[in-house]
Structure 1
Amino acid sequence: MSGPRDLFAEVETDPAPHWPDVRAWLQANPQTLLDDRSLLEEIGLKPHGRNVVEFGAAALTRLEAVVTRESDARKQIEAVARANFAAQTQTHVASLDLLEARNHSDLARRLDACAQGRFGLAGAAIAIEKPGGVPFGWRALEPGGVDGLLGDHGLTWLGPNFAGLDLFGANEDQVQSVALIRMAPIFGGGAAQIEVTGVRHAICAFGSPDPEGFTPSMGCELVAFIARVVERTAERWPILT
């Protein structure tokens, strides 16, 4: 009669036993493992009498890994929340500063200063289509220029800077990505007013020194809010020619 297989004897001849064989042998000889307390302790298991094995160490290790992952995720969420709160606060303060502008030129200067000082951008600019006067400090666009940049019905465009934009003056070389927001201010009477609707097509542009500062997948609520403040503030005064 042949007795049970001696797996340890087989290991001596085959240095790489297969796990199905090892598993089957342990199932057939469980007491051998339970009696080897030193081996159980080495693999993180704690024996408690006959046929009882505590998996506390292994379970605790898994639990600690879960807690660590949850803690890291919570820290990331908290960091994003703090960054969003700080950005919103800076946006509100910048809006108050823009509302104190005295004229169109002062508005453009304040916008550029806020973009650099409060948001760490390379600059910001206001561009408006001709015909009609272009305030000092604003950029002039040819008729249809806004649609050319944003599309016929586009409201915003976020992405890398591109050749020919040329809205940021001396800081143009620093701009790696841009956010462009459509505006349609209605200026008060005078020769600058367009006869039919009174609307002048314009854009509010923000330039970042970071290639990932503005990307197509990014939300643009804050810069759009700033653009709306610029748009409404600019309507206070007629454009002088």
Structure 2
Amino acid sequence: MSDSQEAIAPPMDKNLTEEDVLSFLQNNPKFLQKNPEACDYLIPPKNGAGKDGKKVADFQSFMIERLKTDKEKVLETTQAIVENARSNMNNQQRIHAVILRLLEAKNFEEFISIITMDMSQMLDTDISVFVVESNGQDIPHVQTNGIRVLPEGTIDNWMNGQSVMLQNNISGIEAIYGGGANLVQSQALLRIDIAMDTPPAILAFGSRDPNMFGEGQATELISFLARVVERAFRNWLKQPN
């Protein structure tokens, strides 16, 4: 490589001495703490004494400890990713099992029973409820055992335009959970729109675990479940889309 092709080092102060560097570090004791990448440019000193007879700091040990810390962080992140993937797979399998169970219903009453009885066990929640707005006459089978009825406008007020609402550290709503409200400390509310000419409904899951549901959790799987429930309702009630 010719002189013209060699990398040109940045200009340095020719008057800069080792004493200047040492003085700077003494006056800025947190320099390496704030700029740990500077250690990458240093050759770790050997154990022993410096020019003044004092013990030399073992930067090699420092670098090893830093590598250990970095490794631990990587392992923690990897473990979190693996656990999250396992949890997602487990949840997916549960949702699939619930959907297959819904498809096995032989009549509307069994379909509702699966929603209000089987779902909570299959999804590892404490209670599952189907709630619909109604005046008692505008939806066929609205008086079926297991369906809870609310006054018109209630669900819109609760959901505030959202299709899924996840809440933690709450007190259960008696209008939804009835006598089980005292047990509920977190919940998932899924809006169910059966058809254009039917009032809104919600599929509610309640848990005694205050952090089982909460903002920031993924909602794709339970949203898919809600869409399946909607379509199943239409089939049973012979409602158009």
SS at match of 2:236: coil
The change in CA–CA distance for 1:98 and 1:36 in structure 2 (over 3 A counts) is: farther
The whole-number CA distance in structure 2 between the counterparts of 1:238 and 1:102 is: 14
1:80 is aligned, of 84, 98, 104, to 84
TM-score by length of 1: 0.68
The equivalent residue for 2:218 is: 219
Corresponding residue to 2:146 among 137, 151, 157 = 137
Deviation, 1:182, is: 1.2
Q: CA deviation at 1:231?
A: 1.4
* Counterpart for residue 168 of structure 1: 177
Secondary structure of 2:194's aligned partner: coil
Greater Rg, structure 1 or structure 2? 1
Contact 2:132–2:199 at 8 Å: present in 1 too?
Answer: yes
Cα displacement (A) at 1:115: 3.6
Gaps of 5+ in 1: 1-18, 23-30, 45-54, 187-196
8 Å contact from structure 2 (residues 171, 181) kept in 1: no
Q: Is the 8 A contact 1:107 1:230 kept in 2?
A: no
Supply the distance in 2 between the matched residues of 1:75 and 1:164 (Cα, whole angstroms).
Answer: 37
Kept after mapping to 1: 8 A contact 2:186/2:211: yes
Identity of aligned residues (%): 27
TM-score where L is the length of structure 2: 0.68
Matches within 5 A, 1:64-79: 64-79=68-83
The 3-state SS of whatever aligns with 2:175 is coil
1:163 and 1:66, CA in 2 relative to 1: closer, same or farther beyond 3 A?
Answer: closer
Instruction: Name the count of aligned residue pairs.
Output: 190
Structure 1 residues 50-103: Cα deviation after superposition (integer angstroms, max 9, x where no partner)? xxxxx5433222212211111111111111111111111111111111121223
Structure with the larger RCO, 1 or 2 (CA within 8 Å, 6+ apart): 1
State which drifts further: 113-122 or 83-92. 113-122
Match of 2:162 among 154, 159, 163: 154
- For residue 65 of structure 2, give the secondary structure of its aligned residue in structure 1: helix
**What runs of 5+ residues in structure 2 fail to find an aligned partner?**
1-25, 30-47
Deviation digits for residues 147-168 of structure 1, max 9, x if unmatched? 12212x3322221445644322
